[in-house]
A and B are shown apart, each in its own frame.
Chain A
Amino acid sequence: MEKINYYLEVIIKNFLGFWALFSGFFFPFIVFLILFYESRLAIKNFGVIKFITTSTWDPVSQNFGGLTMITGTLISTFLAILIAAPVAIGIAIFITELAPNVLKGVISSAIELLAAIPSIIYGMWGFLVLSKFMRSYIEPFLQKIFSSIPWLGKLFSGSPTGIDVLTTSLVLSIMIIPFMASVVKDSFNLVPSVMKESAYSLGATKWEVIKDVVIPYTASGIAGGLILSTGRALGETMAVTFLAGNVVQIPTSLFSPFTTITVALANQFTEADTPLYLSSLFYLSFLLFILSFIILSLAKLMVLRLQKRWK
């Protein structure tokens, strides 16, 4: 009996260990290898630097460069973070420091529900509801205000269609608010209450405690939250596919349609008819994987550092 138990222990340990190795090592490694292997043709033909600095994407003459998609992804992600960051930090402050206990649970669950809505729902809602609203009200209004300002006016030029950079970034920002808010909220909760209480005892107001104690001490947590949501926004596919307009051009204003890496993948994967075309698409997804992996690792490191400091 003792022997059986011993062997069972060895078998079970190794069995579980295999799957741990699989999900932590083989799985990401296999993804990396397959994407790299499939994009070898494009890497050989276009190289690395040339691919990310060329903006032609021409299936007819078989000439592919990823600059347009990469810029599109970066611009929409950046704008989404810009819109979402103040809101997410505000929500985290409200939930951790201000809300009465009854409201706390309700509001944080409601915000988390935003994260549970599938991205295709954001996409169709944005496409059928929000984009029309943006086209007829918000965008002409913005244009009226900003068009007379010399430098900013350029950002708001062109005819408002609703299917453009601005709407895409707005919808992306709504989608990432819950992720950002929850990371920021968790790091706010890590601040020892002694720190806050000592500031209160010196006569600080609630706002001063938040501004001078809570936020400085959780800076790396906030940064981690921002970067984590950058990683999320980079890979968002369905919402962007509906709203970007899928025009292969580098956007010149907030009202121009554009394309991103994920839009190109979603629209063209089934159309790719030559090996080089397909390989270029794999190259794009390879770049997206590397980019998001690096960004998410950075976020993870920052959050881990904060947790270590407070333990």
Chain B
Amino acid sequence: MLLISFLTALYGLFWLFWILGTLFINGFKYLTFDLFLQDPNPPGIEGGGLRHAFVGHFIITSLATLIGIPIGVCAGIYYAEYGRNSKFFMSLKNITDIMVSTPSIIMGSVMYALMVVPFKQFNALSGIFALALLMIPVISITTYEMLNLVPHTLREAAYALGAYKWQIIKDVTMKASKVGILTGILLGVARISGETAPLLFTAFNNAYLSFDLFKPMATLTVTIFNYIMGPYDYWHKQAWAAALFLTFLVLVLSLLAKALLYFGTLNPLKWKIKK
């Protein structure tokens, strides 16, 4: 029986290596400078690159991050510092936790109703909001959990000195859990940078380089989807290369988040160990 449990671990690793292996073998060959620097050729003509998708992906994820971080962090701080003893806010926290796992395509359809139908056109802004909404629960829950790890005695010491709550948040708890909150932010960015479903009918796709937030904008994920479903062989090759880049980016972000948590100098987990 114990052997079986060892085999299940191997089974999990087997898929991981198979997926990453094929991705690397197929993608690395086609990872060229042209891919990053050229716009795509008209369909059917070989060559070109995916500059438009890289740029669009960067714009959409970074703007979504800029909206998502402050809202998520604010909500997380409130849950941890003010709502700790309130049943109402603790149940709101649990609802937020549930929203972390809500199907991402739902955000797409909500933003379609809210922003695509009124504008009568697919637009990048609706994609940005869809991703930001996906990110808020992830960040607020990690922020809450990280602040929760800060020992209560630290807060009490600050109270004893006559500090206001906002001063404690600014000077004590946020300082102690800086690294933890950064981890949450990285996880949130990793989560949204691989998302496709909410962008399919919000930001849609665009064959050209575009900076206009009120027009459709290409992203890496939607481009990969269209290229894989498309008929041309060189599309598949470019999609493999883009997929390798995307996976590498997401894996590095999540590994970085983990590493920060373990090696961070101001790691709240260490408080716990010291006690």
Contact = CB atoms under 8 A, between A and B. Distances in A.
Given A5-B164, A8-B166, 4 more contacts: A19-B75, A86-B8, A91-B9, A285-B106
Given A13-B165, A282-B113, A289-B103, A266 B19 contact: no
B55 interface: no
Interface stretch (A50-58, A150-158, A196-204, A291-299): A291-299
A177 B12 contact: yes
A258 to B, nearest CB: 17
B114 interface: yes
11 contacts: A5-B164, A9-B165, A24-B92, A24-B93, A94-B5, A94-B9, A116-B190, A117-B194, A120-B243, A211-B1, A292-B101
B98 interface: yes
B104 A237 contact: yes
Given A111-B12, A285-B106, A20 B112 contact: no
Contact of A90 (B4, B82, B104, B197): B4
Contact of B22 (A13, A107, A129): A129
A207 interface: yes
B236 A128 contact: yes
Contact of B105 (A90, A265, A297): A265
Nearest to B169: A12
A207 B83 contact: no
Interface in A111-128: 111-114, 116-125, 127-128
A118 to B, nearest CB: 3
Interface residues of A, number: 88
A234 B103 contact: yes
Contacts, number: 250
Interface in A6-33: 6, 8-9, 12-13, 15-17, 19-25, 27-28, 30-31
Given A235-B104, A289-B102, A120 B196 contact: yes
Contact of B166 (A9, A30, A31, A127): A9
A87 interface: yes
Interface in A218-261: 228, 231-232, 234-238, 241-242
Interface in B218-255: 221, 224-225, 228, 236, 239-240, 243, 246-247, 250-251, 254-255
Contacts of B251: 113, 116-117
Interface string B177-210: 0000000000000100111110011001000000
A206 interface: yes
B12 to A, nearest CB: 5
B258 interface: yes
B247 A12 contact: no
A34 interface: yes
Contact of A31 (B110, B247, B254): B110
A264 to B, nearest CB: 10
A261 B225 CA distance: 18
Given A86-B8, A116-B251, A296-B101, A35 B92 contact: no
B270 to A, nearest CB: 17
A221 to B, nearest CB: 16
A122 B104 CA distance: 16
A114 B9 contact: no
Contacts of B75: 16, 19-20, 22-24
Contacts of A24: 75, 79, 89, 91-93, 95-96
A98 interface: yes
B7 interface: yes
Contacts of B254: 112-113, 116
A89 B97 CA distance: 23
Nearest to A105: B262
B89 to A, nearest CB: 6
Interface in B70-93: 71-72, 74-75, 77-79, 81-83, 89, 91-93
A113 B201 CA distance: 28
A262 B165 contact: no
B153 to A, nearest CB: 19
A127 B239 CA distance: 13
Interface in B125-176: 133, 136-137, 140, 164-167, 169
A269 B201 contact: yes
Contact of B71 (A22, A37, A241, A304): A22
A135 interface: no
A90 B5 contact: yes
B19 A121 contact: yes
A300 B137 CA distance: 15
Contacts of A12: 165-166, 169
